[in-house]
Structure 1
Amino acid sequence: MIYNKLGKSDLNVSQLSLGCMSLGTDVKEAQKIIDLATHKGINYLDTADLYDQGMNEEIVGKVIKDKRKDIILATKVGNHLKEDGSWYWDPSKAYIKEQVKNSLRKLQTDYIDLYQLHGGTIEDPIDETIEAFEDLVREGIIRYYGISSIRPNVIKEYVNKSNIISVMMQYSIFDRRPEEEVLSLLKRNEISVVTRGTLAKGMLSSQASSIIENKAKSGYLDHSQSDLYNDVNQLGHLLEEGQTLNGLAIAYVLAEDPVASVVAGASSTEQLSDNLNALSQRFESEQISKVKQLIKQYNYTQHR
């Protein structure tokens, strides 16, 4: 396993991280997945207070309790859960400082390595949100903070005003929007990217054709269904012996300098093993360059 420094912090995260949202609510199954992940060198676990209405944090907390010191633990805040299970967006300082207490209790820890704002818009009270995170750093409750966003204008505000060390964003071969205006900005400011959606809902995996057929009838982002079929076919021609499409998908995003880790979910040990196998594959720079030539790049339009 290769480890990369997260922004200007002293956190060194595994190139493949475990996205905990897919763990489910069976503690024993979650234990198997997390144990395999850590055994294979994954040290970065990503959860959120919203997942399974808080149960995900509880399960992660139980499973990692005896190995907490070896884990870089990330969670998120900003979606204010109501008693009926619904939620509303709340990036206020008061909510963040209160909600972190609930996350600490559920995670059975007295600190969070990376606390992330779980979304955000340009209309938010951004200065107030930053104050909340800075307070929590000074108080030793969190070590560092970041945001989870695909909105360039929001990202730019946090780059200019805050001490974020990372931005979690959707980034894949089929979603190259970050390349146009975000990745270079973050690289210049020594802020890392942790990616999500890198396998594009499975359309960049061994199940690509069936997933495109059944779940992408209206396409994906600006790619039509026929585009997706054609793209997967062309990408397949780039693969050499021992290489897979999901391996190419992971290698593609890791080839960009600001990307420190790929956050990939796993609902079984088999799925985690597939992701680990994909990570172990090596691709030539020429293959990555050909991907850029083959797949269309779009810009962010609505997400501002």
Structure 2
Amino acid sequence: MKKNRLGQSDLYVSEIGFGCMSIGTEEKTAIHLIHEALEQGINFLDTADLYDQGRNEELVGKAIRGKRDQIILATKVGNRRIEGQEGWVWDPSPTYIKSAVKESLRRLGTDYIDLYQLHGGTLEDPIDETIETFEELKREGIIRQYGISSIRPNVILEYVNRSGIVSVMSQYSLLDRRPEEQILPLLAKHGISLIARGPLAKGILTEDGEHKSEKGYLDYTPKQLAVLREDLRKISNNRGSLHQTALRYPLYHPAVAAIIPGASSVQQIVRNVQEGKDFNLSTNRYEQIQQLTKSTDYDEEHRLDGSN
């Protein structure tokens, strides 16, 4: 599988990654899914300390034993669980990050993390302190690179201008084109990569995703989705399936290094890889897709010239 450079770093990730959030909590099944992803040529695994209260990292750690040098391992930090309380609180403080990374390393069974990502962020955070903490972890060799997972343009802008992030993880698909106007040009200008999650839009953009359109998606109504799915099939004309088109659309932009489609079964992993590789959108087809879909922007408060 093709590998792309993550920002200007020395990390090269498979253009189709594997989001481990969907592997469940049963050990045998979870390990089997991760091993299948690796067999299919995926080298980029993404998890978070938040998923299943750390259980996800533990399962990923067990699955990569003996294979660590073959993998670009990404996890996230910032959502802190407080014992005895439900849910979590946002905590990007240096103290918490330094304690959380130790726990992630323990659960993952490794002594370094390839890509450590801030799992959110607000303008009210102690941003400079947070950045310095990531830089310190990098100097110590605990992490190789760092990034941010966010859909907030103003927060992303702060980290682009003030930090050494190599990547931004954000939702991006042909049904959610919000990154195109502001985020992608910004990242391209600074040599930072986008990691696109949700390229299949919760399965709506698969051949059998009709029933998943019943509640609509963002500002698309179920009826609009039905029409769009049919229109997208028509422009395919044997040049690829709806599934292929959806996977390749985000990868058309040069700032996108990897996509992370959802998968909770071996069949879905195999299909994502087979549909996603050895197929590229032509400029003409890309432009046709843009004409058919909405170029929805972030709401006013989340624009780069907004206040949040």
Between 281-290 and 67-76, the greater mean CA deviation after superposition: 281-290
Instruction: Give the counterpart letter for 1:145 in structure 2.
Output: Y
Aligned residues: 300
State the distance in 2 between where 1:67 and 1:56 align: 17
> Is 1:29 the equivalent of 2:26?
no
State the distance in 2 between where 1:204 and 1:230 align: 12
Equivalent residue number for residue 239 of structure 1: 236
Equivalent residue number for residue 288 of structure 1: 286
**1:83 positional shift:** 2.4
* Equivalent pair of 1:243/1:281 in contact (CA under 8 Å): no
**1:225 positional shift:** 2.0
State the distance in 2 between where 1:42 and 1:204 align: 21
**1:193 positional shift:** 0.5
State the distance in 2 between where 1:256 and 1:67 align: 31
Equivalent residue number for residue 251 of structure 1: 248
Equivalent residue number for residue 9 of structure 1: 9
State the distance in 1 between where 2:159 and 2:208 align: 37
* Equivalent pair of 1:247/1:281 in contact (CA under 8 Å): no
> Is 1:189 the equivalent of 2:190?
yes
Equivalent residue number for residue 223 of structure 1: 220
* Equivalent pair of 1:242/1:281 in contact (CA under 8 Å): no
> Is 1:80 the equivalent of 2:80?
yes
State the distance in 2 between where 1:209 and 1:98 align: 45
State the distance in 1 between where 2:277 and 2:192 align: 25
**1:242 positional shift:** 6.3
State the distance in 2 between where 1:222 and 1:78 align: 29
* Aligned CA-pair RMSD: 1.2
Instruction: Give the counterpart letter for 2:72 in structure 1.
Output: I
**1:41 positional shift:** 1.3
State the distance in 2 between where 1:24 and 1:244 align: 28
What TM-score results when the alignment is normalised by the length of structure 2? 0.95
Between 117-126 and 240-249, the greater mean CA deviation after superposition: 240-249
State the distance in 2 between where 1:41 and 1:280 align: 10
Alignment CA distance shift 1:220-1:236 (3 Å): same
* Equivalent pair of 2:202/2:262 in contact (CA under 8 Å): no
State the distance in 2 between where 1:244 and 1:49 align: 35
> Is 1:52 the equivalent of 2:49?
no
State the distance in 2 between where 1:244 and 1:115 align: 34
Equivalent position to 1:276, from 248, 273, 277: 273
* Equivalent pair of 1:7/1:192 in contact (CA under 8 Å): yes
CA offsets 1:186-215 (integer angstroms, 9 cap, x no match) = 0010000001011111111122211112xx
Equivalent residue number for residue 108 of structure 2: 107
SS at match of 2:124: coil
SS at match of 2:191: coil
Name structure 1 gaps, 5 residues minimum.
none
> Is 1:176 the equivalent of 2:177?
yes
* Equivalent pair of 1:114/1:146 in contact (CA under 8 Å): yes
CA offsets 1:136-156 (integer angstroms, 9 cap, x no match) = 001110000000001110011
State the distance in 2 between where 1:285 and 1:56 align: 39
Equivalent residue number for residue 139 of structure 2: 138
State the distance in 1 between where 2:54 and 2:256 align: 28
Instruction: Give the counterpart letter for 2:171 in structure 1.
Output: Q
> Is 1:264 the equivalent of 2:261?
yes
State the distance in 2 between where 1:28 and 1:240 align: 41
- Give identity over the alignment, percent: 54
> Is 1:128 the equivalent of 2:125?
no
* Equivalent pair of 1:167/1:194 in contact (CA under 8 Å): yes
State the distance in 1 between where 2:72 and 2:83 align: 30
Equivalent residue number for residue 299 of structure 1: 297
* Equivalent pair of 2:75/2:117 in contact (CA under 8 Å): yes
Equivalent residue number for residue 93 of structure 1: 94
State the distance in 2 between where 1:222 and 1:123 align: 29
What TM-score results when the alignment is normalised by the length of structure 1? 0.96
* Equivalent pair of 1:208/1:232 in contact (CA under 8 Å): no
Instruction: Give the counterpart letter for 2:58 in structure 1.
Output: E
